[in-house]
Amino acid sequence: MCRPDHFDVRYAINPWMDPTKGADRALALAQWETLRATFEGHGHRVEVVPGEPDLPDMVFAANSGLIVGDRVMSARFTHAERTAEGPAYHRWFAERGFAEVVAAREINEGEGDFVLVGERFLAATGFRSSPAAHREVERYFGIPVVSLELVDPRFYHLDTVLMVLGAGEIAYYPPAFSTESQKVLADLFPDAVRASAADAEVLGLNGVSDGYHVYFSGRATKLAAQLTERGYEPVGLDLSELLKAGGSVKCCTLEVH
Ligand code: ARG
């Protein structure tokens, strides 16, 4: 995770962002600290990457890259406003003792667009990461990548509309995907939790699961009920200030697989 010490809404690179309104950094920090404490309180180890001045979106650590075992691929961002986050995170990864850290050559926004479900990655294109990045990830990690296409600009990253719950189980919002991708998901995950529009619109699917507890927006009440019914324990959080930049729980969290 990356502390939002420099968080702000200063530019608009997705429909959630309104630079004329900005953001309340003190509130963002308090909400972020609660998220971190919640993870730690449930026994999860959190490492904190220092944020950098002039990189107001750096708090969204999910976009920093991909970590599987002892291999890391750091991100390459779509927008000029976030480009410098790639090398900043790369330097941090390079100092952590991983066997190999490479920088993506193709446009790749890390776990924003790539989610590991069991033995495969699901990866999105449409707004950010490129189809070529899907192939690059497949080659580097030796893990098959299933490509999906996003079609609604409000849901510009895969992790805004698809959440991994546990071994082979996902929750997602079908209308955010092209017709063809909806079919791919329905075939792969016939028993998936299908979220409502209302829950998707508060980024309720932007959550993290440890296989039992599911950490996500407390505003996604129907989703909470759906998860409870499946035997998961929902842990509701309020990240309203970060939502102003188009992010929630998952965006703030890079998982170490
Ligand atoms: N303002 C950021 C952007 O548009 C938000 C990133 C959210 N991260 C995520 N994993 N969906 O790039």
What's residue 203's pLDDT? 98
| Distance in Å, CA 156 to ligand 1 centroid | 8
CB 173 within 8 A of CB 197: yes
| Distance in Å, CA 160 to ligand 1 centroid | 9
C-alpha triplet 153, 237, 255: angle, nearest 5°: 70
Active site residue 257: no
- Nearest ligand 1 atom, CA 77: 12
| Distance in Å, CA 42 to ligand 1 centroid | 25
What's residue 167's pLDDT? 83
Mean pLDDT value across the chain: 98
77: Cα separation from own chain's centroid: 14
Low-confidence stretches of the chain (pLDDT beneath 50):
none
CB atoms within 10 A of CB 187: 8
Residue 164 Cα distances to 9, 15, 16, 35, 97, angstroms: 28, 24, 23, 18, 27
At which residue do the structure tokens 């170490």 appear? Answer: 256
Which residue segments constitute the domains of the chain, with CATH numbers given? 25-243 (3.75.10.10)
| Distance in Å, CA 220 to ligand 1 centroid | 19
What's residue 157's pLDDT? 98
Ligand 1 environment, Cβ below 6 A: 13-14, 17, 57, 60, 62-63, 82, 112, 157, 159-160, 245-247, 251
Active site residue 6: no
Residue 76 CA neighbour count, 13 Å, CB half: 15
Name the catalytic one among 134, 157, 213, 252.
Answer: 157
At which residue do the structure tokens 């490509």 appear? Answer: 147
| Distance in Å, CA 205 to ligand 1 centroid | 14
What's residue 171's pLDDT? 98
Tell me the two tokens of residue 8.
């702000």
Provide the ipTM: 0.97
- Report which protein residue has its CA nearest ligand 1's atom 9: 251
- Nearest ligand 1 atom, CA 160: 11
- Report which protein residue has its CA nearest ligand 1's atom 1: 245
Q: What is the pLDDT of residues 188-224, one digit of tens each?
A: 999 999 999 999 999 999 999 999 999 999 999 999 9
- Report which protein residue has its CA nearest ligand 1's atom 7: 247
CB 213 within 8 A of CB 233: yes
At which residue do the structure tokens 């790539």 appear? Answer: 114
Edge-to-edge, what's the strand order for the sheet holding 65-68?
A: 65-68, 71-74, 100-103
Identify how many contiguous H helices and E strands the chain contains and give both numbers. 7, 12
Among candidate residues 77, 63, 55, the one with its CA nearest the CA of residue 4: 55
